[in-house]
Amino acid sequence: MARKSRKHFPDDKDCVVYRTVIYARLSRENPEQEKIETQIDEIRNYILKKPMFRLVNIYADNGYSGMNFNRPAFQQMMEDLRNRKIDCIVVRDLSRFAREHIGAEDYLNNIFPFLGVRFISIRDDYDNIRIEPQEYFIASFKNFAHSYMAQETSRKVSTIKQQMQEQGKFIGSKVSYGYMRDPSDKHKLIPEPEQAAVVHEIFSRVANGENIREICNILNEKEASGYVWSDSRIYAILKKEIYKGTLVQRQTVTAMYRNEPMQRVPKEQQIRLENAVPAIVSHELWQKAQNALAERVQKKHEGIPENPYSGLVFCNQCGKKLSGGFRRDLQDFNFNCDKCRNGVFAKGSHIKQALADYLKISDTTEITKFFLSEKFEKILITNKKQIDFIEKGGDSE
């Protein structure tokens, strides 16, 4: 590889003091490996021993993968670099800077030299102001090795986790309410007596036809620990199979080395083991509660007409899709943006009137879901007097 020109770099004798920053990163692949403060202290000690470096800032990405550069502290550092606030970057080793070898090569061989920024990796003995041609090859090889190791580590960790899940071992970070980790085995769950009694009470009350809202009130009156019960928390408990002894794991997956967001695993691909944990409620009680919930949902939707605007209505300010709740007392749908909370509201009757004015049709014309979805892409609501229609392949009124 051809030797890179150093003409962009100031020599030590020409630049008495480098405005120097520390960059540290701790990957989420193995968060227990070390503390990020350990990296920072090692780099700081290195800088303090060299009078040509003046520490001006510390950038630390804690819990971010090195397989991409979408890290907040790194992006802030690059912004400061482009604004000429930085002369020198010091890292502990190249793997802390990046594990994606192609992107790392671009920064080391092109971006930093072009911007005249000195880059030092302490443990790799890498300093781009004094680097020799063969050292570029060594740095390139190390970056490739770091990238490969990140992928292998992610693959091995995922394989080990799946094997443990298939053996019925609990590897989740959060334990469901009603359970606790067995003191003698962190991968085993046992009922937490007081919470388990509450869970059993919830299932029993729901199975006997009691209202969820009333159950919340009863539990909150008895609760002394400060735990606040809500409808959503009770519904979440009622849907978990763990309470009948079925351990469901691998519900989400991600590629750790690529720092991807969690993705939901299809139900048929999840790991589901019956009798893997002690049951808090019997299969019969669990099913009876599910039947009661299904019956309540069915009654809730009885007499509610089809929402012809479903999937078409959006807030004209934030763009959020508005589902529209049915008001039995008004016999109409309400569309309200709970995100904006500043007057974005309209009824189905308002939309129908605006549609009649827009299409020049009688307000007695029946509006169907099929008609609307065939003609319009979106219905944008600002308020009940300002409703815009976006036609397919066209613009709003």
The predicted structure's pLDDT at residue 31: 45
Residue pair 303/318 in contact by the 8 Å Cβ criterion: no
Is a pLDDT exceeding 50 seen at residue 133?
no
Mean pLDDT for the stretch of residues 259-275: 75
CATH code at 18-150:
3.40.50.1390
Q: What is the DSSP letter of 320?
A: -
HSE, side-chain direction, 13 A CA sphere, residue 32: 0
| Distance (Å, whole) CA 123 – CA 94 | 8
Which pair of structure tokens corresponds to residue 49?
Answer: 């021993």
The predicted structure's pLDDT at residue 120: 92
| Distance (Å, whole) CA 42 – CA 46 | 6
Q: Which residue has the tokens 């920053």?
A: 21
| Distance (Å, whole) CA 256 – CA 254 | 6
Task: Read off the pLDDT band of 315 (50, 70, 90).
Answer: confident
HSE, side-chain direction, 13 A CA sphere, residue 300: 9
Which pair of structure tokens corresponds to residue 115?
Answer: 């911007």
Mean pLDDT for the stretch of residues 220-226: 76
Mean pLDDT for the stretch of residues 343-368: 81
More confident residue, 37 or 150: 37
The predicted structure's pLDDT at residue 132: 58
The predicted structure's pLDDT at residue 208: 92
| Distance (Å, whole) CA 351 – CA 353 | 5
Which pair of structure tokens corresponds to residue 346?
Answer: 């309209």
The predicted structure's pLDDT at residue 260: 54
* Burial (0-12, 13-18, 19+ Cβ within 10 Å), 27: buried
| Distance (Å, whole) CA 28 – CA 31 | 5
Which pair of structure tokens corresponds to residue 229?
Answer: 């019960």
Q: What is the DSSP letter of 19?
A: E
More confident residue, 364 or 310: 310
Torsion of CA 238, 244, 246, 250, to 10 degrees: 20
| Distance (Å, whole) CA 384 – CA 381 | 7
| Distance (Å, whole) CA 346 – CA 155 | 51
The predicted structure's pLDDT at residue 141: 47
The predicted structure's pLDDT at residue 89: 95
**Dihedral pair phi/psi, residue 355, rounded to 5°:** -65, -40
Provide the percentage of residues in the chain whose pLDDT is more than 70. Answer: 79
| Distance (Å, whole) CA 204 – CA 127 | 68
Q: What is the DSSP letter of 396?
A: B
> What phi-psi label fits residue 315: left (phi over 0), alpha (psi between -120 and 50 degrees) or beta?
beta
More confident residue, 130 or 75: 75
| Distance (Å, whole) CA 249 – CA 145 | 32
**Dihedral pair phi/psi, residue 247, rounded to 5°:** -90, 120
* pLDDT tens by residue, 5-26: 444 455 454 556 899 999 999 8
Residue pair 227/242 in contact by the 8 Å Cβ criterion: no
Mean pLDDT for the stretch of residues 294-304: 72
Residue at 356: amino acid letter: A
Strands annotated E in the chain: 18-26, 53-62, 88-91, 118-121, 126-127, 179-182, 185-191, 247-249, 252-253, 263-264, 271-273, 313-315, 325-327, 332-336, 345-347, 376-383, 386-391
Among the listed ranges 172-176, 247-251, 272-276, which one has the minimum average pLDDT value? 247-251
Q: Quick one: which of 178, 207, 214, 175 has its CA closest to 194?
A: 178
Tell me which CATH homologous superfamily contains domain 179-301. Putative Large Serine Recombinase; Chain B, Domain 2 (3.90.1750.20)
Which pair of structure tokens corresponds to residue 299?
Answer: 């009654």
Give residue limits of the domains in the chain: 18-150, 179-301, 313-391
| Distance (Å, whole) CA 131 – CA 188 | 53
| Distance (Å, whole) CA 206 – CA 291 | 10
Provide the percentage of residues in the chain whose pLDDT is more than 90. Answer: 25
The predicted structure's pLDDT at residue 147: 52
Residue at 122: amino acid letter: I
Query: How does the average pLDDT of the chain come out, rounded?
Result: 80
* pLDDT tens by residue, 92-121: 988 888 766 556 777 887 888 888 899 998
Mean pLDDT for the stretch of residues 275-294: 91
Q: Which residue has the tokens 């219905």?
A: 379
Is a pLDDT exceeding 70 seen at residue 139?
no
Length of the chain: 397
Residue pair 181/188 in contact by the 8 Å Cβ criterion: yes
The predicted structure's pLDDT at residue 7: 42
